[in-house]
């Protein structure tokens, strides 16, 4: 009796294991998604969307030279560049950022090592140390956090490795701990979003803000810029609600659903990223509103959001350009040749509105 | 005489605590409703109740499965990841039509449930550890299958997310049917009794000749399937597959709903009505704070207070 039971149990286990493996194979084997036939947006259309420096005069702000930094001159052509990405490439911004760095390295024929910290700061620290150990002569870092970089900076300083940080800053001394920061001015983005909002609503009415994730400098700065500009330019616009949508579409949708019911008079919504803005669009559609009933202004510049401008649901999108590749490598090139580079390189973000959404949608990422 | 009076006094206290545990969650819902009726502008409208019901539906469906798992003295941490996996599968198979895609998504949830159940019933891994493993693996798999958010344009799914029958949204209808079904199974079937017996004491259930392993596997399969259904519905509502953020922290919301609803974590007792009320309570709490524009951190604190109160009531009962 017993051996049979044992046999039966093991066969049940085998069956189970086989079933799991088979279903996994099935899951990956014969998928057929909705729009397999759709063409991917061609890369060539996006080439004209590289970053432009907002303050091009190299002498305008504090600058840095290779002698001041204490590194040795080298030829970028033969160098190895390490790139540490902060979040996994699951959102359009990160995808476009990594792709841009890789494309530029390939174009210039530079050996590129990459790592992705998957949103874990401790992993990013060890990633960068790994990159250094693997022989990176130069580093491009997209930091997850601003603080806690001392161990990496010490290692890099010991080997005189120049560091350029992109999209977020690190709290350290420029030209000593790192060479320069390339990124957008998030306060400025908030201000420009406020300008778009004032234009769309005529400067009067009640508006709501969908905040980003809490405890994030992007959220605080985009909020500050927006509120300051509204206060200064359009006192008629009243901000009646500030709720977090945590940068996610679903949260943006459910919060907006609640907002438009308790405040039926809302005339505008400022979403601090495109995803929440798209969630708000969903909520408005669900509530039976017409395009343009509630003006939405968002920040990022993803293809989906720009498409919604064309469709009339979103009034304006302020771009936060993720294509750091050309500018990052140009900075490294200038720096390693011995010329001076700016410590803070603020990039010029463009904007999409009704007038250019149709023609410029190819530039969206 | 005094002894008698004393024992009656403690009896009253016992009964009060029992009442608090059994009906406290309903009282909480009532209090929040009354508060909103009085102080929230535009709260009393069909549109608003419709929104609240639609928003609570996915959490509620997940909580039903969680209640079963907790009833067996287990827990299912993988539900949020199953939702993400379901949304990935749904998007990948949508080319075959919405029904096949939804079916595939649910099968995905069932497979995760089988894996959970097998680990717990055959290998003997603690439920919290087994489902933790599947929670990590499920999210990973979902992201491998679909690395980033993808829009869903299928009209069938869109109407599932926003359509209604006689004014009742499909989402609410499905959630209600599932809640009634699970409540019926728990009250009126042998399987329901077996779940409770296993939750009370697994060794005793085994000695009594109950098919412990089979029941455990079925429980986790149900939990996985329900989570997958919730994932499909949430995707339909969002009209996008977002495996990175869909179902994030869903396991905690579901556990909160179950525990606040009066189901003890020690198993042996499942309250479906309470679970429904628990999910509604959390939803109303969040809504109230949003509608009054209080900072989001307050929502978390308020939720914590509710959980602590619920656990306090359960603790007193356990010491009886």
Structure tokens at B270: 């499942």
**Residue A210's pLDDT is what?**
93
- When divided into structural domains, chain A yields a total of 2
Q: Is A90 on the interface with B (CB under 8 A)?
A: yes
> If we measure between CA atoms, which residue out of B17, B27, B9, B6 comes closest to residue B281?
B27
The per-residue pLDDT for range A260-311, each reduced to its tens digit, is 888 888 999 999 999 899 999 999 988 888 888 899 999 988 888 998 998 8
Rounded CA separation A223/A278 (Å) = 18
The H-or-E segment that residue A190 falls in is helix A186-201
Inter-chain CB proximity B143 and A242 less than 8 Å: no
Domain for residue A356, yes or no? no
The per-residue pLDDT for range B78-110, each reduced to its tens digit, is 999 999 999 999 999 998 989 999 999 999 999
Domain for residue A17, yes or no? no
Domain for residue A6, yes or no? no
CATH of the domain at A230: 3.40.50.2300
Same domain, A178 and A50: yes
Q: Is A28 on the interface with B (CB under 8 A)?
A: yes
Q: Which residue of A has its CA nearest to B239?
A: A282
Residue B221 pLDDT level (bands cut at 50, 70, 90): very high
**Residue A343's pLDDT is what?**
84
Inter-chain CB proximity A254 and B55 less than 8 Å: yes
Same domain, A343 and A310: no
Domain for residue A34, yes or no? no
Same domain, A335 and A315: no
Chain pair A-B, CB pairs under 8 angstroms: 121
Same domain, A171 and A56: yes
Rounded CA separation B251/B67 (Å) = 11
State which of A298, A319, A340 marks the end of a domain.
A319
Domain architecture of chain B: domains with CATH: 56-319 (1.10.3470)
pLDDT, mean of residues B293-314: 80
Same domain, A309 and A260: yes
The per-residue pLDDT for range A165-216, each reduced to its tens digit, is 988 888 888 888 888 888 888 899 999 999 999 999 988 899 999 998 877 7
Q: Which residues of A touch B143 (CB under 8 A)?
A: 88, 90
Q: Is A243 on the interface with B (CB under 8 A)?
A: yes
**Residue A28's pLDDT is what?**
63
Domain for residue A275, yes or no? yes
Inter-chain CB proximity B296 and A214 less than 8 Å: yes
Same domain, A192 and A166: no
Select from A261, A288, A306 the residue whose CB has the most chain B CBs within 10 Å, as the one to mutate to test that interface. A261
Q: Which residue of A has its CA nearest to B117?
A: A16
Look at residue B139 and tell me whether its pLDDT is greater than 70.
Answer: yes
Same domain, A206 and A297: yes
Inter-chain CB proximity B42 and A264 less than 8 Å: yes
Inter-chain CB proximity B89 and A19 less than 8 Å: no
Same domain, A169 and A281: no
Across the interface, of B45, B238, B296, the residue whose CB is closest to A243 is B296
Same domain, A199 and A155: no
State which of A301, A319, A337 marks the end of a domain.
A319
Domain for residue A28, yes or no? no
Q: Kindly state the percentage of chain A with pLDDT values over 90.
A: 19
Q: Can you list the alpha helix ranges (DSSP code H) found in A134-273?
A: 150-158, 186-201, 217-233, 249-262
The per-residue pLDDT for range A328-339, each reduced to its tens digit, is 888 888 888 888
> If we measure between CA atoms, which residue out of A208, A191, A71, A70 comes closest to residue B290?
A208
Same domain, A76 and A124: yes
Domain for residue A355, yes or no? no
Domain for residue A127, yes or no? yes
Q: What are the angstrom distances between the C-alpha of B227 and each of B80, B106, B143, B303?
A: 7, 8, 17, 22
Inter-chain CB proximity A89 and B147 less than 8 Å: yes
**Residue B306's pLDDT is what?**
81
Where do we find the tokens 């305008």?
A60
Nearest chain A CA: its distance from B308 CA (Å): 24
Whether the complex's predicted ipTM surpasses the cut of 0.90: no
Range of the domain at A151: 43-183+322-348
Inter-chain CB proximity A261 and B145 less than 8 Å: no
Q: Is A41 on the interface with B (CB under 8 A)?
A: no
The per-residue pLDDT for range B257-266, each reduced to its tens digit, is 998 888 888 8
pTM reported for the whole predicted model: 0.82
Same domain, A54 and A178: yes
Look at residue B307 and tell me whether its pLDDT is greater than 50.
Answer: yes
């Amino acid at each position: 009796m017993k051996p049979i039971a044992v046999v039966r149990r093991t066969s049940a286990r085998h069956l189970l294991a086989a079933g799991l493996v088979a279903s996994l194979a099935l899951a990956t084997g014969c998928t057929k998604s909705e729009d397999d036939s759709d063409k991917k947006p061609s890369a060539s259309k996006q080439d004209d969307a590289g970053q432009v420096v907002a303050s091009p005069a190299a002498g305008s702000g504090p600058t840095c030279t290779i002698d001041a930094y204490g590194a040795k001159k080298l030829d970028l052509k033969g160098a190895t560049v390490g790139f540490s990405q902060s979040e996994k490439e699951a959102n359009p911004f990160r995808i476009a950022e990594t792709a841009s760095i890789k494309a530029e390295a390939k174009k210039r024929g530079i050996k590129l090592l990459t790592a992705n910290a998957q949103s874990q700061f401790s992993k990013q620290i060890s990633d960068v140390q790994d990159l250094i150990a693997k022989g990176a002569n130069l580093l491009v870092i997209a930091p997850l956090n601003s603080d806690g970089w001392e161990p990496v900076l010490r290692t890099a300083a010991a080997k005189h490795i120049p560091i350029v940080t992109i999209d977020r800053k690190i709290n350290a001394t420029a030209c000593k701990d790192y060479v320069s920061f390339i990124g957008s001015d998030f306060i400025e983005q908030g201000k420009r979003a406020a300008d778009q909002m004032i234009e769309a609503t005529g400067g009067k009415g009640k508006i709501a803000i969908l905040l980003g994730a809490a405890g994030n400098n992007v959220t605080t700065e985009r909020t500050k810029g927006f509120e300051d500009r509204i206060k200064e330019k359009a006192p008629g616009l009243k901000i009646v609600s500030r709720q977090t949508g945590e940068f996610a579409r679903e949260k943006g949708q459910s919060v907006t659903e609640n907002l438009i019911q308790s405040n039926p008079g809302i005339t505008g919504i400022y979403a601090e990223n495109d995803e929440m803005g798209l969630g708000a669009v969903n909520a408005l559609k669900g509530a039976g509103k017409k395009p343009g009933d509630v003006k939405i202004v968002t920040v990022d510049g993803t293809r989906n959001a720009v498409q919604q401008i064309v469709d009339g649901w979103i009034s304006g999108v302020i771009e936060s350009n993720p294509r750091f590749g050309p500018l990052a490598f140009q900075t490294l090139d200038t720096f390693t040749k011995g010329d001076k580079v700016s410590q803070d390189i603020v990039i010029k973000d463009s904007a999409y509105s009704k007038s250019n959404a149709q023609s410029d949608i190819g530039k969206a990422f | 005489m005094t002894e008698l009076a004393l024992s009656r006094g403690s009896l009253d206290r016992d009964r009060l605590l029992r009442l608090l545990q059994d009906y406290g969650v309903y009282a909480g819902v009532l209090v929040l409703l009354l508060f909103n009726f009085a102080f929230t502008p535009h709260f009393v409208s069909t549109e608003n109740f419709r929104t609240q019901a639609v928003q609570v539906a996915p959490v509620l469906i997940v909580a039903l499965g969680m209640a079963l798992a907790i009833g067996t003295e287990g827990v299912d941490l993988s539900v949020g990841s199953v939702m993400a996996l379901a949304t990935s599968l749904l998007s990948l198979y949508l080319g075959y039509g919405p029904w096949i895609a939804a079916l595939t998504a649910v099968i995905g949830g069932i497979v995760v449930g089988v894996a959970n159940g097998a680990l717990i019933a055959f290998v003997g891994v603690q439920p919290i550890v087994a489902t933790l493993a599947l929670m990590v693996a499920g999210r990973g798999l979902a992201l491998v299958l679909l690395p980033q958010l993808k829009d869903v344009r299928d009209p069938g799914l869109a109407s599932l997310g926003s359509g209604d029958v006689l004014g009742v949204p499909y989402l609410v209808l499905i959630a209600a049917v599932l809640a009634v079904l699970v409540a019926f199974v728990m009250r009126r079937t042998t399987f329901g009794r077996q779940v409770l017996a296993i939750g009370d004491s697994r060794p005793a259930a085994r000695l009594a000749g109950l098919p412990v392993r089979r029941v455990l596997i079925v429980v986790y399969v149900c939990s996985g399937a329900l989570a997958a259904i919730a994932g499909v519905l949430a995707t339909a509502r969002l009209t996008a597959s977002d495996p990175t953020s869909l179902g994030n922290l869903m396991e905690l919301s579901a556990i909160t709903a179950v525990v606040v609803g009066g189901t003890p974590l020690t198993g042996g007792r499942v309250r479906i009505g309470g679970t429904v009320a628990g999910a509604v309570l959390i939803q109303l709490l969040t809504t109230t704070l949003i509608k009054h524009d209080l900072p989001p951190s307050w929502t978390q604190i308020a939720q914590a207070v509710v959980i602590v109160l619920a656990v306090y009531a359960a603790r007193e009962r356990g010491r009886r």
